[in-house]
A = this chain, B = another copy of it.
Amino acid sequence: MASGKELCEGVEWRIRVVDGSSEVLVPPTGLARKVWLRTKGLISGLGMKVRMFLKQAWDMGANDPRKVIHCIKVGLALTIVSLVYFMRPLYDGVGGNAMWAIMTVVVVFEPTVGATLYKCLNRVCATCLAGFLAVGVHWIASQSGDRFEPFVVGASIFILASIATFSRFIPSVKSKFDYGAMIFILTFSIVAISGYRVDKLFDLAHQRISTIIIGTSLCIFVIMMVCPIWSGQELHSLTVRNMDKLSDSLDGCVTQYFTNSNGEDDQKLQGYKCVLSSKASEESMANFARWEPSHGRFNFRHPWKQYLKIGASMRSCAYCIEALNSCINSENQAAESIKKHLSTSCLKVSSSSSSAIKELAESVKKMNKSPNMDLLVEEMNSAVEELHNDLKSLSHLLNPSTTAENQISATGLVPFMEIIPVVTLASILIEISARIEALVGSVEELVEESEMKDKIVAKEEKPEGTMKALQRV
């Protein structure tokens, strides 16, 4: 049969080779079809991608309407700054350099108040400094004669740009004045070099500064008046949210392990991963928050740096939860009897730890020291103590030389390997409780510092209050 088929195919093949017309006809049909199919596939694929992209964008907007509001704010600020062009006196006032105001708005407008203020203040200060310096350098250059002028200007640009660029690498400068250093280079180069072509250099510097001030003040007005988003508030909420996640993950993991339930929400269990990955955003938020004036319950000079310490403490807990998770998913299954023996105390430790974290979250949220905190920590410690005792009594299950004979007869001896996962889990739980105590310490520091700052601010405001009262009299 098989050989017959082969023969048949072979015959057909030879026929095709001989018959030229059929051979010529087939490939174009194939090609046209291929091209058509490929084009169709490409278009539908592209359509699919575009649809996915739009859906993603829509979901993002629906999940966080503040992003949409931010976009409208940018559009608004740009439309307002465009008025400079449409109003003759304003346009002439800045010597046709109105585009710098637009540029400022586009470049400076950030989603949060802190980031916008950081950029605005940096931009204004750096522009003023660089403008004055550039006018000075131009004066020196013009004194040195036509021949040397380009060299003096060129050398000054080279040196100052190099130094300013280098300063951007220094951590303390980078965190506070990175943008300012860039604007310094920009303005200095433009103003210094324009001196060679522009006659009224002082006017140029003046126009640049005034357009930038127009742009930045408009930005500050819009960002603070229309639904402001404060970096500080964001950092605060992120910290509270992360604490809740940490607490849910911890409790969820341990409960799932001891009750063998898979009903727990997986997203809830993985919440600690958010804590692990939020270092960068915490740092940038803390960085911007210190530029913000007092808002809501936060004064200017609120101890934002303390949030970073809390974040670090939370991450150190999250590392342990990661290790805990690996115990839970380990191949080495624990004996049920041992699990039962330790489950009560382990669950007690995890629930008391997680309620301690929840209380901490509440304490941060309300920014006051919780009266229950000491009690909860004590409860956690007593649960840990209980777990210690249970671990000690575990040896009775393995070591009949002690007195607890009756216990053994009830549960039977178990192989040592089968107690390892539970023991590891228990000791990681104990470690987590120690780390939670460190977390309690850093939260208390935050609350104390914030209360202290509040008092200082209240004191500083008092004399002003008296002054106002006097004026009214």
Partner-B contacts on A (CB < 8 A): 53, 56-57, 60-61, 67-68, 70-72, 74-76, 78-79, 82, 85-86, 91, 96, 99, 102-103, 106-107, 150, 153-154, 157-159, 161-163, 165-167, 169-170, 172, 182, 185-186, 189-190, 193-194, 196-197, 276-277, 279-280, 316, 319-320, 322-323, 326-327, 330, 332, 388, 391-392, 394-395, 398-401, 413, 415-417, 420-421, 423-424, 426-428, 431, 435
Question: Quick one: closest B residue to A99, CB to CB?
Answer: B190
CB distance from A39 to the nearest CB of B (A): 24
**Known contacts A166-B68, A427-B420; A154/B319 CB under 8 A:** no
Secondary structure type dominating chain A contacts: helix
**Known contacts A154-B79, A391-B416; A53/B194 CB under 8 A:** no
Q: Is the CB of B323 within 8 A of A431?
A: yes
Q: Is the CB of A60 within 8 A of B170?
A: yes
Interchain CA distance A163-B56 in the complex, whole Å: 14
Q: Is the CB of A165 within 8 A of B399?
A: no
CB distance from A465 to the nearest CB of B (A): 28
This chain: copies in complex: 2
Q: Is the CB of A194 within 8 A of B99?
A: yes
Residues of B contacting A96 in the complex (Cβ-Cβ under 8 angstroms): 197
Which of B60, B79, B194 has a CB less than 8 Å from the CB of A158? B79
Residues of B contacting A416 in the complex (Cβ-Cβ under 8 angstroms): 391-392, 394-395, 398-399
Which of B70, B79, B153, B166 has a CB less than 8 Å from the CB of A157? B79
**Known contacts A162-B72, A423-B420; A82/B169 CB under 8 A:** no
Residues of B contacting A424 in the complex (Cβ-Cβ under 8 angstroms): 423-424, 427-428
Question: Quick one: closest B residue to A388, CB to CB?
Answer: B417
Interchain CA distance A420-B391 in the complex, whole Å: 9
Residues of B contacting A86 in the complex (Cβ-Cβ under 8 angstroms): 150, 196
**Known contacts A327-B427, A398-B399, A427-B421; A71/B165 CB under 8 A:** yes
Q: A319-B323, A424-B424 are in contact. List 19 more A-B contacts (CB 8 A).
A: A60-B169, A71-B166, A74-B162, A75-B157, A75-B159, A75-B165, A78-B189, A82-B154, A86-B150, A106-B186, A106-B189, A277-B279, A316-B322, A320-B322, A323-B428, A330-B427, A330-B431, A398-B416, A424-B427
